[in-house]
Structure formats: structure tokens, C-alpha cells
Amino acid sequence: MVIFEFIYMKNYKKIISNIFAGVITYILPVVTFAQIKNPLKGATSVGGFVTVILGYVVRIGGIVAIFAFIYVGYLFVKAKGNPGDLEKAKTTFFNTVIGVAILLGAQIISTIITGTINSLQ
């Protein structure tokens, strides 16, 4: 069904949502979760477990960030100089950059959480 939509190019939003849903449903779990053997194997404590889980969150978030930047690029191209659409694209870009900054700070957050949990024991 998606192939015919690409041929006629009538409904862009439906095409993009179908591609995104397909990647999230079929490709992402196979690529990401097929590599997970036992997340608890390297974790000897609760702090280690949190560190391992946040490591996987960073990996998955990196994939989502790539798709978010692709979407932002699409919004800029689609705007074609229209001030309202450009403002939406700029806002989306700014929010994506903030999200990536939070994602990159996840290791620092992991260290803080692990230190707090270890100090409670």
C-alpha cells in the first residue's frame, strides 16, 4: 500500500507516518533489542543496573534523535520561506537540540544516580 502512495505522492503526512511506524515497529526492535543478551549480567548492584539501563536509553534515544533531525530538515524544506512554517521548523529544531543535549547528559545523570544509590547503601 505504501509503494502506491509513493508512486502518486498524494498524501505526504500519511507516507511519513507509515514509514516512521514501520521503522519503530519492525526495524528498531530487531536492531536494538537483538543485541541485548542479559542487561543484569554486568550489574552487581542497583546503581550498576541503572547505569546499564540508561546506556540502552542513550542508544535508543540516539536513533530517535537522528529521525528527529531528519524531520526538522523536512520541515525547513517544506516551509519554502513561509514565515509561519519557518517559525514552526525553528521551534522544532530548538526542541530537538535541547532533547539531544539532555540525551548526551544522560551519562552524567547516570553517574549522579549511581553515586546517590551507592551512598544510601
The domain ranges of the chain are: 1-35, 39-120
Identify the residue with better confidence: 61 or 111.
61
Query: Which of left, alpha, beta for 11 (phi over 0: left; psi -120 to 50: alpha)?
Result: beta
Please state the pTM of the whole predicted model: 0.57
The stretch 2-17 carries a mean pLDDT of 58
- Angle 19-9-65 (CA atoms, 0-180°, nearest 5)? 30
Q: State residue 55's pLDDT score.
A: 79
d(CA 55, CA 107): 8
Query: What is the pLDDT confidence band of residue 5, given thresholds at 50, 70 and 90?
Result: very low
- Angle 79-80-84 (CA atoms, 0-180°, nearest 5)? 45
Q: Is the pLDDT of residue 94 over 90?
A: yes
